[in-house]
Structure 1
Amino acid sequence: MPADRFDRATPPVAPTSPGLVVDEQGRGTFAVAAPRARAVDLCLRQGAAEHRQRLRHYDGGLHWGHVTGMTPGTRYGLRVDGPWEPGSGMLANPRKLLLDPWARGVSHSSPLLSAFFPFEVDAMLDRRDEVPQRSEVDSGDSAVWSVVVDDAFDWQDDLRPMVDWDATVLYELHVKGFTRLHPELPPEQRGTYAGLGHPAVTGYLRDLGVTSIELLPIHAAMDEPHLTRLGLTNYWGYSTMSYFAPEPSLATAAAQQAGAQAVLEEVKTMVRRLHAAGFEVILDVVYNHTARAAATAPPSRCAAWTTSSTTGPTTVSPRTSPAPAAPSTPAPCTRWIWSSPPCATGCRRSTWTGSASTSPPRSAATTAASAPTIRCCARSSPTPCCGT
């Protein structure tokens, strides 16, 4: 993003809110709220190369800069340098690529990878050390990137239906679950945004008397660590990593292949068709369900701006790491991992140590609080799952 004549001739105007604001040529400003960060770099991905631009201006908690070349399809992300204070919840690590919290598109869906964590983790995605050590692994090659999209769309005189409360019949559904096995949908549209907007689906819902459709989360998401350890996924989408970007995996294969712009347009087309069929469209958004999930999860997706303020969706409150147990007593087992059936071949046994602060899962044997109970991992691991 080299400076051009536009940059030299036009003094940058400080933005008043975070996000990317550019013209048709991709020129404008980018800002992100990171009041405790020492430095923030805007990173562009071009093929296998990554180009970085330091956001040199700072006003009112916003790191910002004048940018060029931010045209639709451009992949970008952020790297934040700042305090490494795990006890205060501040885990700035410039080796980790972060999403723009205000991005309207993301590059792809991804499983949770060890490279995304700001601290060192083992094969089961647990911290290697009681005191988190900053990871030296760069996540750029495997990261989910923010993508610039064009907001222009042919809404075809679309109008949002306004249904009176006393006439509302609300149907809550999951995009994939509701359409995946629908026999009247083209195979390529089953389980997708496009499928939900198909006349076969809208006609069925209309025949039921439905007036309003509430969609379970369709925001870009990533599975939480505890589910990844178990080999499971958050099917319902309650693990948001980007609130303003749609989840790519719910789009048709063709849209996913075409990129973030095509995914966004498929979502908008779905909404337009649902409106045309007379339905209100309501999005389920839960702000206390994020891909971060816990203090031990990587903050490198939806927020990692080293701040304890609550100035909007670009920040998260820090979470204090638990104090280590005294050396003279066994550390309590605070994580439950087992297989079905219990202790199947290939599982590594692990011991639960009961304590006043922990209790067995509902499926655990009913024993005294201090009695050890043998459980096992959901899959083999080079390290013990819990206890010894």
Structure 2
Amino acid sequence: MPPEARSQAEQSRRFLYLYALAAAGGAVAYVPFLTLLLPLRVTAMEGSDTVGVLAYIAFAGAISASLANIFFGWASDRTRNRRIWIAAGLALSCLLLVSVSRTGNPAELLALIVVWQIGLNMMLAPLAAWAGDCVPDGQKGRLGGLLACAPALGALSGAVITLPGVAEPDARLLIVAVIVALMVAPVLLFGRPRPMPHLMEAPEIQMPLNASILPRIDRTVARMWFARLLVQIAEAALFAYLLVWFATIDPTFGDNQTATVFTVVLALSIPAAMLAGKWSDRTDRPIVPLAWGAGVGAAGLVMMGLADGLVPAIAGYVVFGLATSVFLALHTSQTLRFLPRPATRGRDLGLFNLTNTVPSLIMPWLTLALVPVFGFDALFLVLAALAALAMLLLITLTRKI
């Protein structure tokens, strides 16, 4: 392809980088809060059962996030304006995040988290769909590599704001809100993506009479959906309870050390995801890195289940976290390849987003059923089986992998 034609067929690097920065801002909006600041807030409330309260908050928050993501994805489809919804959600979610410091009991905190999830997904749903409007298939692997920066920066923000002496608990929430605004606003103001009319046109496979193609697409989408769901169940469990698990192994291993482990693992995942994404673009084999990510993640969970000390526990989490971070980053971008209806892209991504939120409905009860009786070891081995099943779903896809 001539360089001029290739340039016209590709999205600008400026938009890709600013979009990745905004996606990272979305991660900063919830990663340090849900993994560190929220558990610390619950722990500080007198007479509260930390594990139980976190389970109920995760359950209620996941329901509101699921419904809000579908609704605002649909709303941005209907209005054909992603930016206005992203901006409104940014403002609302930041305001509500700062308001968490005013809650005085678990019930108030739970209610505020439900509303905060609505505001957050008002921003996240159209932001995800915007990538489908602007990034062609040949750059989706590269986009996935850039999206690996999002959880890494989310974890880094948690590590920084929990450093001793950096900020008081209430000030941490304000700092997070300011950082999020500074990361998301640039793509709204300066992104200016190149128009991609072909990404907004329904392909021929949408014709009902094309029965030979539609079943293959449905099967691929279903396997992609279930594979991510299974991996996300494991990810959600570690997301919510990693701090608690490390504390059961070594009580001196605190919030800042846990945030540092998060940051190191996710930082390592960035070059890994970029290399895997570039390889998948070049070879047009988007499923292979996903299958490997699920399989290696299962191995990491087995290591965690068999760990008998802090060092092997951290080593197991490093393997799990690195593999699944690459999996999730590339899966996010490659999902856009398999959802071909531009007119309902936001809504369909909202339905696909259930793989991110439904695990939060399953994970608390799975954890409560296993951990009190059998310990975290049993939980990790069950999660390893789920990740292994995800690998099988992907590796047996009929699409070339």
Q: Same fold (TM over 0.5)?
A: no
- Structure 2 length normalisation: TM-score? 0.24
Q: Which has the higher strand share?
A: 1
Higher relative contact order (CA 8 A, sep 6+): 2
Q: Which has the higher helix share?
A: 2
Q: Report which of the two structures shows the higher radius of gyration computed on alpha carbons.
A: 1
